[in-house]
Amino acid sequence: MGVHRRQNGYTVNFCVDSHNSLGNYVVDADGNRMLDTFCQISSLPLGYNHPDLLAVARDPNNASVLAARPALAMYPNMDYPEKLENLIQAIAPRGLKHMTTMMCGTCSNENAIKQAFIRYRSRERGGNPTEEDLSSSMLNEGPGSPSYSVLSFDGAFHGRTFACLSLSHSKAIHKVDIPAMNWPFAPFPRFKYPLKEFEKENRADEDRCLAKVREIIAEKKSTGSPVAAVIIEPIQAEGGDYHASPYFFRNLQQICKETESAFIVDEVQTCCGATGYFWAHEAWDLPEPPDFVTFSKKLISGGYFFKEEYGPKLGARIFNTWMGDPPKVLMMEAVLDVIRREGLLDLTRTSGAHLMAGLEDIQAKYPQHVRNARGPGTFCAIDVVDSGVLAKVASNVRDKGVLLGTCGTNSLRFRPALIFQPHHADILLDTLESTLQEL
Amino acid sequence: MGVHRRQNGYTVNFCVDSHNSLGNYVVDADGNRMLDTFCQISSLPLGYNHPDLLAVARDPNNASVLAARPALAMYPNMDYPEKLENLIQAIAPRGLKHMTTMMCGTCSNENAIKQAFIRYRSRERGGNPTEEDLSSSMLNEGPGSPSYSVLSFDGAFHGRTFACLSLSHSKAIHKVDIPAMNWPFAPFPRFKYPLKEFEKENRADEDRCLAKVREIIAEKKSTGSPVAAVIIEPIQAEGGDYHASPYFFRNLQQICKETESAFIVDEVQTCCGATGYFWAHEAWDLPEPPDFVTFSKKLISGGYFFKEEYGPKLGARIFNTWMGDPPKVLMMEAVLDVIRREGLLDLTRTSGAHLMAGLEDIQAKYPQHVRNARGPGTFCAIDVVDSGVLAKVASNVRDKGVLLGTCGTNSLRFRPALIFQPHHADILLDTLESTLQEL
């Protein structure tokens, strides 16, 4: 097909009939209707053709905003300051009051990291850049271009631009042949399941990872590449749906505080309710907010929240032509209205509990095929024991009318929309079970 | 205002009333109407509220596409292959047949560079990655993460993500405090004007720059960081509207060919007609197409064209969640229709010639204030002799009802829409002249 022939389209799964797709169901170009539990790589908050989003798209008052994209950091539309203010009121993580929109999750991460570097260097220097800083930066040399680093985790995924790719350690095919920043990574806990049985082992594994974080930060400081920021996903999704406990994240934040590294929580995939919390990090009961929380996907616009002290003190430091896209903010507003009005966080908790109970049943019945069912809300996964049949399981489930995603080397991941109901979970569970029966 | 308080809004110039802005005229929140010759940092092809773009925005058939953004590399809409095909037929630079859409100019550059690295390494290795390549890349180490470099130019601007920022050398405030890739840059010609008077000096300057390019490429090769790609703007815009001749670009392409470096032409600002050519590089009469041509801004969608041999041979190497945004492609189609139907390339040549003649008149009358009028099409600039009054000139012109941009340290740049007519040029010229009179 054209996509394959004209661009790098090897990954195309099928083409979608967007007019006839509806709610939790996607329709392909041949008219096949599938329950979609992957939802465009976890990025549809309300499924297909939700009437409220169609209404935004059809509202003639929005046409001007769609027809002339503004350079938001220079000439925003007159209603944009109020829109930002309302969004912050509506969704800001507790304790955060500053936010900027961006084009996507990757550029949100890139810019959050830039702000972290600016703050780290400003504090170290005690103020704004000197003439020497400015002139050496133009040569890509120190002190203007400092050799700071960012710490990420084994199994992480933070995007695929050069810097974000240097922070990602999920799949080699993403990284190979691309030069990398010499930035370090620490191990991320690898829980054993069921959690109740392995409490002690899992805690020990978390402590091992935290100790390694301390060790790397100390080492990088002593070798002249201090860790200006630590970036982490609440759940490592692309890497294989790996979890850690609130204990781990609270301690990680504490280490960041002690070492003056920014604590950046990458909620690009976990934002907007799928874990049963609007922000996944709400479950951690942190003593203070993260320094940065980045978002995209289900929130439709990319962007990030940040602590006031991380706001650059000069203009033009965080800047690009578009700085986001107002039509996405219009859609985001409608999404938030629907979530509130229809109680979709509650629904996600209910549907998620139902899904998890069913996955636990299935793994009890087919321990030779699946294990490690896990996940808060509907943000669930289960491992296929024989990684060699992962693709086959996904493909057979799809042939039976249910679309799901995979991640890591051997996990099925479920990323339905927030309108996913218990009876949709039943369809998914029945289909998965019958597929495993036939293996 | 909110934008200032809540995000890094120091650069906000004024807020726009998008409903009441029309054609070449922007209206601000206070009702002031200005001739807009900057057009949202050069990114409005048809000005404000063009009826054809409003029609796209209002077409109920497009609502589904607006309401559920697809993951284009996995589940594109069924009409997307044909749309890509049509776009390629309509606008592909001569000799190029492969294209991918992206979210913005910056991520277009990031991904074009990634493809260049993949190709360079694949050729060097003779095929797909080995096990050692794959495993070492996961550690950010060689051979999987090679220490290749990209050559850019002094004064260049290619974006502000980490890698693109390492390639940008226009303004220190963009770069300072941000770690950089250790990538080299060469001098870009600095023409003396009028061109006819300085033919010999300018040619010598171009030869000096070309010699330096050869020298750097040889040096980086010998020190183990071969230059896998050279990236260049047809006109250095953000850096100060610096020009070079077709001779320079033809020779640069030849050097790239000899040294097996990819020749990447960054047409993010020059694409879509403003120079009087659809692609600025058409003016160079190259013996073969560039290896990559990146675009964004006036084309509404980001993306890039590339030679077939630069297409990765495996899937998932060039990939992200969205890979562009179909509503932008709908708008792009409408823009291309209007350009063709209304002969806007011809108009841009006519209006540009008129504008240039006027600028030359003005600099002849006010040599103490302005000089170096330059530019193909309406992609024009003029230098303010005393850089200390640059901002004042721009601000006084704006107070008289004309919005223009600045660039480099002392240039006024004109980036009107393609619907800019000779009588608009007259308004701009009269306003500029009266402002200079009063200096």
Q: pLDDT tens-digit profile of B88-111?
A: 999 999 999 999 999 999 999 999
pLDDT at A190 over 50: yes
Cβ of residue B142 closer than 8 Å to a chain A Cβ: no
pLDDT at A232: 98
The one-character DSSP state at A323 is S
Coil, strand, or helix at residue A215? helix
B167 lies in the same domain as B224: yes
The one-character DSSP state at A379 is -
Using a CB-CB cut-off of 8 Å, the residues of chain B touching A59 are none
Closest CB from A40, A82, A174 relative to B316: A174
B109 lies in the same domain as B177: yes
pLDDT at A6 over 80: no
Minimal Cα–Cα distance from A235 to chain B, Å? 17
Q: How confident is the model at residue A8 (pLDDT cuts 50, 70, 90)?
A: low
Catalytic member of A36, A241, A266, A291: A266
Considering B329, B360, B375, which residue would you say is the last residue of a domain? Answer: B375
pLDDT at B433: 98
Is A235 among the domain residues?
Answer: yes
B371 lies in the same domain as B260: no
Is B178 among the domain residues?
Answer: yes
Cβ of residue A103 closer than 8 Å to a chain B Cβ: yes
Query: Residue B375 is which amino acid?
Result: G
Is B383 among the domain residues?
Answer: no
Q: Which of B176, B245, A426, B123 is nearest to B115 (CA)?
A: B123
Is A55 among the domain residues?
Answer: no
Cβ(B382)–Cβ(B373) below 8 Å:
yes
Helix (H) or strand (E) holding A353: helix A344-365
Give the model confidence (pLDDT) of B242-291 as tens digits.
Answer: 999 999 999 999 999 999 999 999 999 999 999 999 999 999 999 999 99
Cβ of residue B308 closer than 8 Å to a chain A Cβ: no
**Whole-number Å distance between alpha carbons of B56 and B62:** 7
Considering B339, B359, B383, which residue would you say is the last residue of a domain? Answer: B339
Phi, psi of A347 (to 5 degrees): -60, -40
B203 lies in the same domain as B82: yes
Give the model confidence (pLDDT) of B229-247 as tens digits.
Answer: 999 999 999 999 999 999 9
Q: Which is it for strands B149-153 and B185-186: parallel, antiparallel or unpaired?
A: parallel
**Whole-number Å distance between alpha carbons of A379 and A351:** 10
Q: Which domain holds residue A255?
A: 70-340
Q: b or e along B235-244 (b: 16 or more beta carbons within 10 Å of the residue's beta carbon)?
A: bbbbbbbbbb
Cβ(B65)–Cβ(B77) below 8 Å:
yes
Give the model confidence (pLDDT) of A18-41 as tens digits.
Answer: 999 999 999 999 999 999 999 999
B154 lies in the same domain as B246: yes
A412 beta partners: A382, A406
Is A121 among the domain residues?
Answer: yes
Is B434 among the domain residues?
Answer: no
Q: Do residue B63 and residue A57 have CB atoms under 8 angstroms apart? A: yes
Which residues, including other chains, have CB under 8 Å from residue A290's CB and lie 6 or more apart?
A93, A96, A253, A263, A264, A265, A281
**Whole-number Å distance between alpha carbons of A347 and B298:** 43
Q: List the catalytic residues of B.
A: 157, 266, 297, 321
B238 lies in the same domain as B295: yes
Q: Hey, which residues 117-136 in chain B have their CB within 8 Å of chain A?
A: 117-118, 121-122, 129, 133-135
Cβ of residue B22 closer than 8 Å to a chain A Cβ: no
Q: What is the mean pLDDT of residues A289-304?
A: 98
Please state the domain count of chain B: 2
**Whole-number Å distance between alpha carbons of B388 and B384:** 9
**Mean pLDDT of the residues in chain B:** 95
Phi, psi of B22 (to 5 degrees): -150, 130
Task: Return the residue of A nearest to B20 by Cα.
Answer: A64
Q: Assign residue B270 the CATH number of its domain.
A: 3.40.640.10
Give the model confidence (pLDDT) of A46-82 as tens digits.
Answer: 999 999 999 999 998 889 888 889 999 999 999 999 9
Q: How confident is the model at residue B408 (pLDDT cuts 50, 70, 90)?
A: very high
Number of Cβ atoms within 10 Å of the Cβ of A285: 10
pLDDT at A87 over 60: yes
Cβ of residue A81 closer than 8 Å to a chain B Cβ: yes
Which residues, including other chains, have CB under 8 Å from residue A360's CB and lie 6 or more apart?
A373
**Whole-number Å distance between alpha carbons of B422 and A90:** 48
Q: b or e along A191-210 (b: 16 or more beta carbons within 10 Å of the residue's beta carbon)?
A: bebeeeeeeeebeebbeebb
Number of Cβ atoms within 10 Å of the Cβ of B82: 12
Which pair of structure tokens corresponds to residue A326?
Answer: 């107002």
**Whole-number Å distance between alpha carbons of B63 and A334:** 14
Q: What is the mean pLDDT of residues A278-304?
A: 98
pLDDT at A315: 86
B227 lies in the same domain as B365: no
Q: How confident is the model at residue A2 (pLDDT cuts 50, 70, 90)?
A: very low
Please report the DSSP string for B231-290 in residue order: EE-SEETTTT-EE--HHHHHHHHHHHHHHT-EEEEE-TTTTTTTTSSSSGGGGG--SS--
**Whole-number Å distance between alpha carbons of B296 and B302:** 4
Give the model confidence (pLDDT) of B162-218 as tens digits.
Answer: 999 999 999 999 999 999 999 999 999 999 999 999 999 999 999 999 999 999 999
Give the model confidence (pLDDT) of A358-386 as tens digits.
Answer: 999 999 999 999 999 999 999 999 999 99
pLDDT at B227: 98
Is B422 among the domain residues?
Answer: no
Which pair of structure tokens corresponds to residue B142?
Answer: 């060689």
Give the model confidence (pLDDT) of B296-331 as tens digits.
Answer: 999 999 999 999 999 988 888 999 999 999 999 999
Q: What is the mean pLDDT of residues A302-329?
A: 93
Q: Provide the ipTM.
A: 0.96
Q: How confident is the model at residue B413 (pLDDT cuts 50, 70, 90)?
A: very high
Please report the DSSP string for A32-71 in residue order: -EEEESSHHHHT-SS-BS-HHHHHHHH-GGGHHHHHS---
Is B305 among the domain residues?
Answer: yes
B280 lies in the same domain as B357: no
Number of Cβ atoms within 10 Å of the Cβ of A136: 20
Coil, strand, or helix at residue B43? coil
Which pair of structure tokens corresponds to residue B25?
Answer: 């005229």
Return the sign of the alpha-carbon dihedral for residues A353, A354, A355, A359: positive
Please count the residues of chain B.
Answer: 439
B102 lies in the same domain as B158: yes
B374 beta partners: B381
B151 lies in the same domain as B199: yes
Cβ of residue B203 closer than 8 Å to a chain A Cβ: no
Lowest mean pLDDT among B7-16, B24-33, B408-417: B7-16
B194 lies in the same domain as B210: yes
pLDDT at A130 over 90: yes
Q: Do residue A180 and residue B134 have CB atoms under 8 angstroms apart? A: no
Q: Do residue A49 and residue B41 have CB atoms under 8 angstroms apart? A: no
B217 lies in the same domain as B286: yes
Catalytic member of A220, A297, A298, A307: A297
Give the model confidence (pLDDT) of B5-21 as tens digits.
Answer: 555 567 889 999 999 99
The one-character DSSP state at B404 is -
